[in-house]
């Protein structure tokens, strides 16, 4: 898919996120909106996958380690054809295939159940190691939140991935610099984040996480490295909705119908 169509797809996904969360009455808009371009690029340009054959052995894998931001993933899966878009209106409802965190047992296209921060990244490293041992050509993509990297488990996995030279692993850091309790730097600072990942033996790039050209270029360059790749994507929490942008209080609060109306208007005109 070309850049123009990726931008259209991203706008659609932002609209769906707002509609889903408003209908559900709960969820996480800030971080869901900040990672839209990353997940859109992965599903509609970068990753090799077959929505009509979710378990195709040759597929690339994507793991949303920051599982609370699953509305972005669910919208992408639905628009890709893994399930009908009508399911999006059932987010977080009893009996829905779309729960508040990704569940591999109920949702087509979900590779790993996530939600407990740090664990999805570890599973991604294991998947990459398995693919390397079996000499499969697939790639593993994983998205972490910046607050998530305060988990010690993340750094155990990072060290292991570098040790095993998992060049088939590409990780994104959704670096919107905010978490549920406030600014990341005020809670447990993660800087110098680039130097830390490099010290752990990763190939590291920094990009604008809302720029499709930069996202795609970084992923292409990662394919030529024999090291695992970390793409630090500088993003804006709540991107696309002015009253949510850069506000930690929109980490885990669904918009009211009135707020949703304003948000949808801004997204449409953005």
For residue 163, is it left (φ>0), alpha (ψ between -120 and 50) or beta? alpha
Over residues 55-71, the pLDDT tens digits come to 999 999 999 999 999 99
* pLDDT score, position 270: 84
Q: In the beta sheet, which residues pair with residue 230? A: 171, 204
| Average pLDDT rounded to a whole number, residues 186-211 | 99
* pLDDT score, position 1: 87
Tokens found for residue 262 = 């304003």
* pLDDT score, position 235: 99
143 touches 214 (CB < 8 A) = no
Over residues 224-267, the pLDDT tens digits come to 999 999 999 999 999 999 999 999 999 999 999 999 999 999 99
Is the pLDDT reported for residue 221 higher than 90?
yes
237 touches 34 (CB < 8 A) = yes
Over residues 27-47, the pLDDT tens digits come to 999 999 999 999 999 999 999
* pLDDT score, position 202: 99
* pLDDT score, position 266: 98
Of all residues in the chain, the percent with pLDDT exceeding 90 is 99
Q: Using CA atoms in the order 44, 154, 209, 99, what is the torsion angle rounded to 10 degrees?
A: 50
Cis peptide before 23 (omega within 30 of 0): no
Over residues 69-117, the pLDDT tens digits come to 999 999 999 999 999 999 999 999 999 999 999 999 999 999 999 999 9
Tokens found for residue 8 = 């259209």
Over residues 127-176, the pLDDT tens digits come to 999 999 999 999 999 999 999 999 999 999 999 999 999 999 999 999 99
Is this prediction's pTM over 0.95?
yes
In the chain the domains, ranked by start, together with CATH numbers, are: 3-269 (3.40.50.970)
* pLDDT score, position 123: 99
């Amino acid at each position: 898919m070309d850049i123009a169509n990726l931008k259209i797809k991203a706008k659609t996904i932002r609209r769906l996120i707002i509609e889903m969360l408003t209908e559900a009455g709960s969820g996480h808009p800030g971080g869901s909106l900040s990672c839209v371009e990353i997940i859109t690029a992965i599903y509609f340009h970068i990753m090799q996958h077959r929505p009509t054959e979710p378990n195709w052995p040759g597929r690339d894998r994507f793991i949303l380690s920051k599982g609370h931001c699953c509305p972005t993933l669910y919208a992408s899966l639905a628009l890709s054809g893994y399930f009908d878009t009508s399911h999006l209106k059932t987010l977080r409802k009893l009996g829905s295939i779309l729960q508040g965190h990704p569940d591999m047992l109920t949702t087509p296209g979900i590779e790993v159940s996530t939600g407990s921060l740090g664990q999805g990244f570890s599973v991604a490293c294991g998947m990459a190691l398995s693919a390397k041992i079996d000499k499969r050509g697939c790639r593993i993509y994983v998205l972490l939140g910046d607050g998530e990297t305060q988990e010690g488990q993340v750094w155990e996995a990072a060290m292991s991935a570098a040790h095993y030279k998992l060049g088939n692993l590409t990780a994104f850091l959704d670096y919107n610099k905010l978490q549920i309790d406030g600014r990341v730097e005020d809670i447990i600072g993660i800087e110098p984040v680039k130097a830390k990942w490099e010290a752990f033996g990763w190939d590291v790039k920094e990009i604008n996480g809302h720029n499709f050209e930069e996202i795609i270029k970084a992923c292409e360059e990662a394919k030529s490295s024999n090291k695992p790749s970390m793409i630090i994507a500088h993003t804006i929490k709540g991107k696309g909705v002015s009253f949510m942008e850069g506000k930690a209080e929109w980490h885990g609060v669904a918009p009211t119908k009135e707020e949703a109306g304003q948000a949808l208007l801004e997204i449409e005109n953005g």
